[in-house]
């Protein structure tokens, strides 16, 4: 890169914020002569165009009134956000930084020494990253794979009992006839049916996961057993999350967890034991770290899913919230989100029905007002003007000093002026 | 009485005192530009709602301390940037972004779209995937200055950094982004011609 190219690169950076006439001439003259800078210029301009596209297509998933109403509630109820910000940007003491660095260095050296001194039980599979049949009978669509054959990705494998597979840095053994699929890219076994015992080599420090229709187990160096509804850990520690990614439990060695408990919300409350006896592989459960997901967490997840337009995940999360013994206001919020989900899915009538249920069931909560207004607005947007008029009028009658009074009145007046 | 720029009916004093009506009117007027700014900074990750809401919550709390030295819009932008910096550092977000790179995961991809629009969406996602690789302190000033066209001094003020440091971060961000984009198959065609939308 020449000096001229360097100067021009700075001009390219400033192009969007405005160049003087002289700078523009310098830039154009250089671009005409230098192919590399011309390419940079085109690329930068196109990337800016893409970013503009992203900005212009950014829309709020929830109506702005809802967002503001929720923000006002959070601003007055949550722990102060500002202190968090101040903390995040507070200058760190150089002594604290030096101490932190020394601690990190000591941990890294200690970890390396420990790993060096330990025998790697699955060294071959881990080091060579092989995914192959080690023992037993494994078949795909009736075709049996030979011992040592590579396990194909994303294929439904029928694995006979007492078979063994080396999958990346883990060994997977089956106790019974099992149906599973293997994804090399994310080191994930999708367990459709049956049960597996998994032994993961911690050496590669890479994640390994087993996914069932109900939950997902993430692991780093451990031995555990998974069937369709439960997990038990023999060594190490695993994290279990539900189908929408919310962490529901962390299990240490000797602990067992049942999916039905958490998903049917019969699980013990936060911080209590979830011990299931009678399994010979499982030692006496240690003091537990199992934790059930709260209604508030599920609702937050649902809001996030709705914001990204993922209606089915949002509905699943709302369902979890409704099964997590929600408080009255959380029930109202869940029902409101069901209305939002229906609206995003393009079903205005269902959406209106959900909103109106919030209005009738939770009349004494502030959310009822928003719900009635939202119902009216959905009908108006759907072009059901008569129904919208009726709902806006109901809103004005129920909340003569409501926060959406001006908009409701505006709609009613506009409609009145349209009539001959 | 001091009036807010772009919101002639709203007084700063009323907002400082936490009057619900004034705050409501102010944020209602500012939400579109705030949403656009956040959308441009984070891209199509689905976090826009949450980030906008967090910004509004922080701004409501901080309004009593707003001295009026900057325009309210710039002040709101600096709050949004602080919130965003914190969010971008969260490992959950980094994981989620990586997950979004898997083709076909986003809901939008499942909808039938014309080829051109689908290409364009893929390019937008790739652009933001590359931006995600940059440190927030480089990425944000780069987007604000090079893409958004805000002057360097304004960007420096928003980032609470010196002008020299801001220029340096923009420079390194540009170099790194262009180098990554050159190697990217999805973005390759952007070298060749201006994108027509």
Beta carbons of A52 and B40 less than 8 Å apart: yes
Structure tokens at B14: 């009323």
Q: Is A307 on the interface with B (CB under 8 A)?
A: yes
CA angle, residues A313, A316, A320, in degrees to nearest 5: 135
pLDDT band at A361 (very low <50, low <70, confident <90, very high): confident
| CA dihedral for A184, A185, A188, A192, sign (positive or negative) | negative
pTM of the entire structure?
Answer: 0.45
- Bridge partners, A43 (sequence order): none
Residues A202 and A236: beta-carbon distance below 8 Å: yes
pLDDT in tens, A250-267: 787 777 777 654 454 433
Q: Is B160 on the interface with A (CB under 8 A)?
A: yes
Provide mean pLDDT across the span A323-332: 85
pLDDT in tens, B115-159: 556 667 788 888 888 888 889 899 999 999 998 888 888 899 888
Question: What is residue A90's predicted lDDT score, i.e. its pLDDT?
Answer: 44
Beta carbons of B40 and A307 less than 8 Å apart: no
Residues B2 and A13: beta-carbon distance below 8 Å: no
Residue among A17, A44, A68 whose CB faces B151 most closely: A17
Q: Is B181 on the interface with A (CB under 8 A)?
A: yes
Count contacts between A and B (CB, < 8 Å).
173
pLDDT in tens, A161-202: 888 888 877 888 887 888 888 887 778 888 888 888 888 876
Q: Is A280 on the interface with B (CB under 8 A)?
A: no
Residue among B35, B127, B193 whose CB faces A50 most closely: B127
Question: What is residue A56's predicted lDDT score, i.e. its pLDDT?
Answer: 75
Report the C-alpha gap between A293 and A297 in whole angstroms.
6
Residue among A12, A54, A71 whose CB faces B53 most closely: A71
Best CA proximity match to A272, nearest among A261, A263, A280, A259: A261
As for the ipTM of the complex, it is 0.77
Question: What is residue A77's predicted lDDT score, i.e. its pLDDT?
Answer: 66
Question: What is residue B138's predicted lDDT score, i.e. its pLDDT?
Answer: 92
Residues of chain A with Cβ-Cβ distance to B166 below 8 Å are none
Q: State how far residue A162 is from chain B, nearest Cα, in angstroms.
A: 34
pLDDT in tens, A272-300: 333 333 333 333 343 333 445 678 878 88
Residues of chain B with Cβ-Cβ distance to A75 below 8 Å are 56-57, 60-61
Beta carbons of A44 and B54 less than 8 Å apart: no
Q: Is B54 on the interface with A (CB under 8 A)?
A: yes
Q: What is the DSSP letter of B147?
A: I
Beta carbons of A50 and B106 less than 8 Å apart: no
Beta carbons of A50 and B36 less than 8 Å apart: no
Beta carbons of A310 and B193 less than 8 Å apart: no
Residues of chain A with Cβ-Cβ distance to B106 below 8 Å are 308
Beta carbons of A62 and B49 less than 8 Å apart: yes
Q: State how far residue B2 is from chain A, nearest Cα, in angstroms.
A: 23
Question: What is residue B195's predicted lDDT score, i.e. its pLDDT?
Answer: 45
Percent over 90 (pLDDT), chain A: 0
Q: What is the mean pLDDT of chain B?
A: 77
Beta carbons of B58 and A82 less than 8 Å apart: yes
pLDDT band at B169 (very low <50, low <70, confident <90, very high): very high
Best CA proximity match to A293, nearest among A238, A246, A239: A246
Does A213 have pLDDT greater than 80?
Answer: no
Provide mean pLDDT across the span B8-25: 79
Q: What is the mean pLDDT of chain A?
A: 75
pLDDT in tens, A103-162: 888 777 766 555 544 433 334 444 445 677 778 888 887 788 777 777 877 788 888 888
Beta carbons of B145 and A17 less than 8 Å apart: yes
Q: Is B187 on the interface with A (CB under 8 A)?
A: yes
Range 87-116 of A in CB contact (< 8 A) with B: 88-89
Range 119-148 of B in CB contact (< 8 A) with A: 120, 123-124, 127-128, 143, 145-148
- Selected for mutation to probe chain B from A18, A50, A216 (highest B CB count within 10 Å) is A50
């Amino acid at each position: 890169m020449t000096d001229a190219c360097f100067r021009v690169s700075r001009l390219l950076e400033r192009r969007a914020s405005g160049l003087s006439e002289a700078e523009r001439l310098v830039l154009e003259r250089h671009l005409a002569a230098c192919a590399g800078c011309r390419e940079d210029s085109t690329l930068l301009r196109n990337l800016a165009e893409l970013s503009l596209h992203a900005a212009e297509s950014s829309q709020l998933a929830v109506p702005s009134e809802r967002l503001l109403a929720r923000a006002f509630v959070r601003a007055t109820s949550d722990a102060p956000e500002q202190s968090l910000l101040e903390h995040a940007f507070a200058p760190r003491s150089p002594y604290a930084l030096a101490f932190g660095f020394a601690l990190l260095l000591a941990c890294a050296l200690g970890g390396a020494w420990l790993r060096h001194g330990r025998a790697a039980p699955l060294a071959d599979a881990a080091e060579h990253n092989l995914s192959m049949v080690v023992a037993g009978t494994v078949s795909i669509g009736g075709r049996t794979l030979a011992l040592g054959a590579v396990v194909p990705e994303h294929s439904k494998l029928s694995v006979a009992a007492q078979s063994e597979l080396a999958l990346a840095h883990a060994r997977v053994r089956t106790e019974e006839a099992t149906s599973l699929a293997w994804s090399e890219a994310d080191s994930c076994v999708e367990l459709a049916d049956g049960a597996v015992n998994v032994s993961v080599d911690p050496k590669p420090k890479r994640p390994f996961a087993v996914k069932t229709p109900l939950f997902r187990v993430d692991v780093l160096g451990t031995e555990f057993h998974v069937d369709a509804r439960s997990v038990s850990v023999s060594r190490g520690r695993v994290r279990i999350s539900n189908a929408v990614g919310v962490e529901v439990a962390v299990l240490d060695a000797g602990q067992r967890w049942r999916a039905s408990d958490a998903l049917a919300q019969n699980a013990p409350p936060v911080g209590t034991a979830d011990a299931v006896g009678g399994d010979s592989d499982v030692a006496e459960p240690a003091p537990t770290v199992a934790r059930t997901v709260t209604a508030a967490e599920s609702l937050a997840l649902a809001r996030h899913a709705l914001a990204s337009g993922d209606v089915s995940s949002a509905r699943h999360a709302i369902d979890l919230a409704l099964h997590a013994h929600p408080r009255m206001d959380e029930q109202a919020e869940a029902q409101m989100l069901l209305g939002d989900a229906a609206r995003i899915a393009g079903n205005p009538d269902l959406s209106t029905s959900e909103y109106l249920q919030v209005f009738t069931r939770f009349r004494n909560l502030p959310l009822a007002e928003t719900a009635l207004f939202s119902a009216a607005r959905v009908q108006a947007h759907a072009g059901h003007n008569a129904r919208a008029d009726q709902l806006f009028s109901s809103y004005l009658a129920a909340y003569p000093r409501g926060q959406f009074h001006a908009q409701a009145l505006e709609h009613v007046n506009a409609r009145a002026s349209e009539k001959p | 009485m001091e009036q807010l720029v772009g919101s002639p009916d709203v007084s700063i004093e009323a907002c400082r005192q936490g009057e619900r009506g004034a705050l409501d009117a102010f944020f209602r007027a500012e939400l579109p530009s705030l949403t656009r700014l956040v959308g441009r900074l984070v891209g199509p990750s689905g976090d826009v709602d949450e980030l906008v809401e967090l910004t509004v919550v922080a701004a409501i709390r901080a309004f009593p301390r707003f001295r009026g030295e900057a325009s309210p819009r710039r002040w709101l932008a600096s709050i949004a940037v602080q919130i965003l910096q914190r969010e971008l550092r969260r490992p959950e977000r980094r994981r989620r972004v990586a997950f979004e790179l898997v083709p076909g995961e986003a809901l939008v991809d499942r909808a039938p779209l014309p080829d051109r629009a689908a290409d364009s969406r893929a390019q937008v996602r790739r652009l933001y995937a590359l931006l995600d690789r940059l440190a927030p302190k480089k990425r944000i000033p780069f987007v604000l200055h090079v893409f958004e066209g805000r002057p360097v001094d304004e960007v420096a003020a928003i980032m609470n950094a010196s002008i020299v440091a801001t220029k340096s971060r923009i420079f390194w961000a540009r170099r790194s982004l262009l180098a990554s984009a050159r190697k990217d198959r999805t973005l390759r065609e952007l070298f060749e011609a201006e994108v027509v939308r």
